[in-house]
Amino acid sequence: MGKRIGNQTIQMDLKPSIEFTTSVVGPKEGAGPLSEYFDIILTDDTNGQDSFEKAESSMMNRAIVETISKAQLEDKEVNYIFGGDLLNQLTASHFAIRDIDIPFFGLYGACSTMTESLSLASLMVEAGFAVNAIATTSSHFSSSERQFRFPLEYGAQRKVTSQWTVTGSGAMLVSNKKTKGKPVVTFITTGKVKDYDITDVNNMGAAMVPAAVDTLKAHFEDTGKNPSDYDLIATGDLGSVGGDLMVKLMKEYGYDISKNYIDCGDQIFIKDNTVCAGGSGCGCSAVVDCGYIYKEMLKKKFKKVLLMSTGALMSTTSSLQGESIPGIAHAVALEME
């Protein structure tokens, strides 16, 4: 049975496996450098629905249904879904799963939701409370722009530090089955809300870095590990600006992550003046983790990986009221045994 080590970490003993994953992405993501790793690439970012919000729900529904189907399970054999998204009141998730007959825990950690859901799904399986659990999340560029920023038709100018919300959804099936050749979950480090008084909503990467640094430091301190113990350390969506800052700040604390660090948001798109500093959104780390990283783990290119999705915790109301942007990051360590 898993146990607490240090202040923020659970060391797994059973070590649940990630049996299957599914990634569903939009056309722009599907045309990016990680194209070959995605399971389903939409040709139309509305996915045949009559709103971007419904499109987002349909992507998450497909990611979940496809994952359960790959595992040849029925709904009743999956004990929980842990999931969430960026839309107000998690409507993308709720409408995605209303026809799926599985108990649901709704989560909100902004773009940290993939590792938040993976943490809780893994802990429930580790404890024996679940045999199989789904961890999922989604985001959609156009539903996010409408909700958080401006109508697309307005054509607002973007800053060099702006990021482009990923249209995509990922789902993982965490299980006590532990099929040989599948990655297992070894450590869960849960993050705290960190607020360093950053108020620029066009530089969310920088707003999330202090939380990512805090969680990564806690992970190393709790486990006694150091950066070279991992083949890959992958933050969720700090983008190129936040990613550079992450490496610099970790160095100041005595950890050199420059050799094995990537940011999912920095990898997913072809760089141009639309995506600016890179990808963001819950869907960003979801599809890069479920696609590129998971599939390269199966091939043993990466044997030890630390996933750390990162969330910027503001709303349009909090920003209008002059509040700063707190951040949070949750880390999950995976290993090919």
- Judge contact between 10 and 4, C-beta under 8 A: yes
Q: How far is the CB of 15 from a copy of itself (least distance, A)?
A: 15
Report how far Cα 153 is from the mean position of its chain's Cα atoms: 29
Give residues 293-322 in contact with a copy of itself (rule: CB under 8 A): 313-318, 321
**Any contact of residue 106 with a copy of itself (CB under 8 A)?**
yes
**Any contact of residue 101 with a copy of itself (CB under 8 A)?**
yes
Which of 85, 194, 216 is CA-nearest to residue 138?
A: 85
Give residues 8-47 in contact with a copy of itself (rule: CB under 8 A): 8, 10
Query: Mind spelling out the 3-state secondary structure of 51-82?
Result: CHHHHHHHHHHHHHHHHHHHCCCCHHHCCEEE
Query: Concatenated DSSP letters for 127-157?
Result: TTS-SEEEEEEEE-HHHHHHHHS--GGG---
Using CB under 8 A, pick the residue from 64, 90, 114, 171 that binds a copy of itself: 90
The Cα 262–Cα 91 span in angstroms is 31
Stretch that binds a copy of itself, among 15-23, 98-106, 228-236, 258-266 (CB under 8 A): 98-106
The Cα 263–Cα 277 span in angstroms is 11
In the stretch 111-150, what mask flags binding to a copy of itself with x, by CB under 8 A?
Answer: -----x--xx--xx-xxxxxx---------------x---
Size of the site for a copy of itself (CB under 8 A): 64
Q: Residue 320: exposed, middle, or buried by beta-carbon count in 10 A (0-12, 13-18, 19+)?
A: exposed
In the stretch 182-201, what mask flags binding to a copy of itself with x, by CB under 8 A?
Answer: --------xxxxxx------
Q: Across-strand partners of 311? A: 328
Using CB under 8 A, pick the residue from 40, 46, 70, 91 that binds a copy of itself: 91
Q: How far is the CB of 84 from a copy of itself (least distance, A)?
A: 7
Token reading at 279: 């990808």
Q: How far is the CB of 180 from a copy of itself (least distance, A)?
A: 25
Distances from the Cα of 3 to the Cα of 9, 13, 214, 289, angstroms: 8, 8, 21, 25
> Which of 94/149 has CB closer to a copy of itself?
94
Q: How far is the CB of 11 from a copy of itself (least distance, A)?
A: 10
The Cα 252–Cα 318 span in angstroms is 31
Using CB under 8 A, pick the residue from 70, 104, 217, 221 that binds a copy of itself: 104
| Residue ranges in contact with a copy of itself by CB under 8 A | 1-4, 7-8, 10, 51, 53-54, 76, 79-80, 84, 86-91, 94-95, 97-110, 116, 119-120, 123-124, 126-131, 147, 190-195, 313-318, 321, 323, 326, 328
